[in-house]
Amino acid sequence: MFWNIVRSEWLKFRKSNIWILLFISPALAALLGVLQNTDDSPVPWADLYTIMISAHSLLFLPLLTGVFSAFVCRYEHQGGGWKQLLALPVSRAQVFLAKGFLVILFLAITQLLFFICFYLIGTAKGFSGEIPNEIVWRGIIGSWIACLPLAALQLWVSTAWASFAAPLAINVIFTIPNMLVANSAKYGPWYPWAQPFLMSISKEGDIGSLYVSTETLLFVIIGSFVLFLACGFTYFRRKAV
């Protein structure tokens, strides 16, 4: 039944504008990559990745997390859609998790498109040498994982508020400080909206599988994901429609 709901939700978006949104962040990051001169760099692939991923994970990716979450609840907030959906022989748990799954899937597609743009720009510029695949994929997968708590929180807010703009406004308010918080050794590791950026950039001496400390991974990313998912799920189960 869960996958039937996922397929049903997927059909809603086949002719929607959400497919354009998937390209926005990779395209803007690609534009920055094109404009920056990395031809004389001894490590052009690594420099190109740093330039592109910084803007992508610092601002665009957290914002898109909120957009996708609001989008998957948009149809149900119109014309009594929640009543029609929940009147079907489906459980609220399956509906909530299916919508969350789609948000995570859209983020994964965005990350894949980012890598494609990164590869195409580097190839078009004629970069020599091997692509630092370990650094690149650790950063891409890590920043995707770091978006999970943001997706859970935004899905909770989006199911609660009928306004499409309200959840996005909240996400913007908490994303904008990233430019300051992400560079703070004191606050950066504990700020959920900064984690996609921190998980995408290699630090000197990193030898682990991800680019953040174990405490940040356990408490800020995994811990907040479980907390936000549990709160959103509890709210949705009790939501009056």
Tens of pLDDT, residue by residue over 17-35, are: 888 889 999 999 999 988 8
CA-CA distance, 167 to 213, in Å (whole number)?
29
pLDDT at 205: 43
Tokens of 156: 């909770």
Is the model's pLDDT at 184 over the cut of 50?
yes
Tens of pLDDT, residue by residue over 116-135, are: 999 999 999 888 888 888 88
Tens of pLDDT, residue by residue over 186-229, are: 888 899 999 999 999 876 544 444 667 778 888 899 999 999 99
Residue 209 burial (CB count, 10 A):
9
Tens of pLDDT, residue by residue over 41-91, are: 788 898 999 999 998 999 999 999 999 999 998 888 876 778 888 888 888
Give mean pLDDT, residues 169-196.
Answer: 88
pLDDT at 210: 60
Which range in 38-52, 75-89, 144-158, 172-186 is most confidently predicted, on average pLDDT?
144-158
CA-CA distance, 6 to 82, in Å (whole number)?
16
pLDDT at 2: 82
